[in-house]
Chain A
Amino acid sequence: MSQTMDLESEQFMTLLTDALRTGPASPEWHQAVGVLRAAGAGPNVDEMQLLVRAREDLESGREYRSIKAGPGFTRKVMAGIDEEGDSKRRGLPSANLIALLAIGVILAVVVVVALNIIKNPPDPNREQVDKLSGIYLVKPVAQLDFETQTEIPAEWRLVGEVPLKVNNKHLVPSTTQPAKDDKREYKAGAILLSESVAPDQPRMIDVTLRIKGATEGVIPEVFVAEGPVDGTKASGGRELVWLLKGGVAQVVLPNLSVPSQGEKLDLKKSPLVNVKIRFDKETAIVECDDKRVYEGPHKLSATAPRYVGVRFRRKTGDSSDGVGLVSVNVLKP
C-alpha cells in the first residue's frame, strides 16, 4: 500500500516510529516504506531510506548480545526460589505429628504471647515500619538522570534564590553574592516534583549525590514537605529532611527534632552518596548508602499533600563546586 503523506508531519513521524519499532514485515513497515516510495526522491527521502536500512540491519542482527542461562545459573535461581518457598511454607511430616505438635505449639505460643503482652505492650511503630518495608516501590513516577539528560522536563520545577544548573553531568547550585542588608548566612535552591503526593500514598524518593569531601559551603538536603514549597525560600515549612553538613549526615523531623546524633560519611571511599526516603501516611524509613538511619513516625500532616525534592543550601559567597545532584527518582508501588 502506498500513499502520499508529508514526511515532516506528525502523522508520518508516528507511522515511522511505529515501523522502526515493529520492523520489517509488520503492517506499519509496509505502510511507511510505501509512503517513502510514493514520495519519490529527495534529501528527506534519502535520509529516511538510510533509517530503514539501519533498521533492517538491526533486524538481521537480532541475536546480538542475546544470552541464554547456563544450567549452573538456572540451578542457582531455582535454589533461591526453593529457599524462598520453604521459608514461607515448611513441609511437614505427617498428620498425627502435625496435630500433636500443633497443640503443643499453640499452647506455648499463647503463654509466651500473653507474657510478652504483659511485659511489653505491642509497638505499633514497629508494625508500621515493617508494613512500609514490605511495600515494593518499583514503578517510576518521575526520573531524572543528569548523566544522560541536560534538560529538566516539565514534571520537575526549580525554585529558590540559588539558581541550579546542569553542569558536567550534575545539577549544581550557583554561587550567590551577599546582598545589601541581607545578613542571611545561607540561601537555598531546590528541584522538586511539580505534582504533589496524596498523604495516604506510599512513595520513595531515591537520590544520588556526588560529594567531593566534607564541606559546610553547600548543604545538600533531600526532603518531603508538608504542603507547597515556598518559591523564594525553597522550603515547605514542616518537612522531613535528610541533610549532609560538614560530612555528617542527619535526619531532621518536622518538629525540628533530630532523632539521632548523625553519622560521619566516609567520602574518601566514594564520592557518590545514595539517599532513599520511603514514606507512607504516617511512617518513614530513611536510608543512606543502604544503611537505615531513621525509621518511625515522620510526623507530617495526615491530610496535607506532600512535595518531594532535593535542595541545596549555599553559604553566601561560597564558590566551592564539590556538591552536585547526579540523579533523582520518585517511585510508587
Chain B
Amino acid sequence: MQQKRAEKTGPKPPKPEKVEEVADLQPVALGKSSDEELMRRTQNGDKSAFSILYDRYSSAVLSYLYRMLGNVEDVESIGQEVFLRAFRFAPTYRFPQKFSTWLFTITRNLAINHSRRRKRSPVRNITELNLDGVDISGDPYQVASKATDDLEKQEELARVLKHLDELPTDQKEVIVLGVFQDMSYAQMEEITGTKAVTLRSRMFHGLKKLASLVGRTIESPKEK
C-alpha cells in the first residue's frame, strides 16, 4: 500500500496523449489490462471485460455508498444501478479520462438523486449484500478493536469513526473520497464539480472537527 501511495503521489505524470482507436483487439490476459483498456473492450461488447471492472470496483463503489448514505438497503439498490448504467452508457465514456473518476461521477449522482427521492417516498428493498456471511464493518468499536489492542486507543479510534458520520455532508464526502477511496483533489474536482481549493478547505475543516475528539487533554506529540 505504501508503494501504491508513493506511486500515486509521485511527480505529476505528463498529460496522456490522445489514444488511437485499436481496430483489432488481440486476446490478452484481461486480468492484467488497465481499466481504460477494459472499458474499450466493453464498448466493443465484451461483457467479460466489464465483469473484471465490476470485480475491481464493486467494493469501492458499495463502500462509498455505505459511508455516504449509511444504510444497506439504499446501497444495494443504488449499487446495482451504478453498474447497469456504467455498462449501458459505456459508449459515452471518453478516453483518456480515468475510469474510476467516470464511475464515481455516476455513483455520486445516483446517490444524490436517490437521497432526494427517498425524502419524498422512502423505499425499502430486501438486501442481498450480506448473504453468506459477508462482513459489513459498520460498527466503529468492532473496527477499532481489530486495529489495536490498546483500550484507550480503541476508544479514541471508535470516537473518531463514529463522528465521521456526523460531519456535514460536504466535509464527509471529501474525506471519504480522498482518504478512503484514495482519489486525488483533481479527480474529486471532476467528480463533484467543486474547485480543488474548496475541497482542500473542507478536508482541513473536517479533520479539524475530528481532531477535537482526539485526546481530551493535549499531550506532547510522540515520535513515531
Task: Write the residues of chain A forming the contact surface with B, with a CB cutoff of 8 angstroms.
Answer: 13-14, 16-18, 20-23, 25-28, 36, 46-47, 49-55, 57-74, 76-78, 80-82, 84-85, 88-89, 135-136, 138-143, 147-149, 208, 269-270, 272, 274, 326-327, 329, 331, 333
Contact = CB atoms under 8 A, between A and B. Distances in A.
A70 B76 CA distance: 10
A64 B164 contact: yes
B196 to A, nearest CB: 9
Contacts of A52: 221
B137 A66 contact: yes
A54 B63 contact: no
Dominant secondary structure of chain B at its interface with chain A: helix
B204 A81 contact: no
Interface string B48-63: 0011001000110011
B207 A62 contact: no
Nearest to A14: B200
24 contacts: A21-B184, A22-B5, A27-B9, A47-B208, A50-B212, A54-B214, A57-B161, A58-B160, A58-B179, A65-B63, A65-B67, A67-B62, A72-B131, A74-B54, A74-B58, A77-B54, A77-B58, A78-B51, A78-B54, A80-B80, A84-B87, A84-B88, A89-B45, A272-B120
Contacts of A88: 45
Interface in B58-84: 58-59, 62-63, 66-67, 72, 75-76, 79-80, 83-84
B147 interface: yes
A76 to B, nearest CB: 6
A70 B131 contact: yes
Interface string B161-191: 1001000111000010011100011000010
Nearest to A80: B84
A53 B217 CA distance: 13
B123 interface: no
B119 interface: yes
Nearest to B165: A65
Contacts of A140: 105, 109, 192-193
Given A22-B9, A60-B147, A272-B116, A71 B131 contact: yes
A208 B137 CA distance: 33
B26 interface: no
B218 A50 contact: yes
Contacts of B67: 64-65
Interface in B105-147: 105-106, 109, 112, 116-117, 119-121, 128-132, 134-138, 140, 143-144, 146-147
A50 B215 contact: yes
Contacts, number: 217
A242 B158 CA distance: 48
Given A13-B204, A65-B138, A28 B9 contact: yes
A21 B185 contact: yes
A246 to B, nearest CB: 21
Contacts of B214: 50, 53-54, 57
B59 A57 contact: no
B156 interface: yes
A54 B210 contact: yes
Given A28-B9, A139-B105, A66 B210 contact: no
Contacts of B9: 18, 22, 26-28
B80 A73 contact: yes
Contact of A141 (B109, B193, B210): B193
A222 B63 CA distance: 35
A69 B58 contact: yes
Contacts of B148: 60
Nearest to B110: A138
A25 B2 contact: yes
A28 B10 CA distance: 10
A57 B204 contact: no
B160 A57 contact: yes
B153 to A, nearest CB: 8
Given A84-B88, A274-B116, 6 more contacts: A50-B215, A51-B208, A51-B211, A69-B129, A72-B128, A138-B109
A81 B129 contact: no
Nearest to A326: B116
Given A26-B6, A80-B84, A272-B119, A49 B58 contact: no
B38 interface: no
Contacts of A74: 54, 58
A142 B193 CA distance: 6
B8 interface: yes
A136 B102 CA distance: 12
A82 B1 CA distance: 35
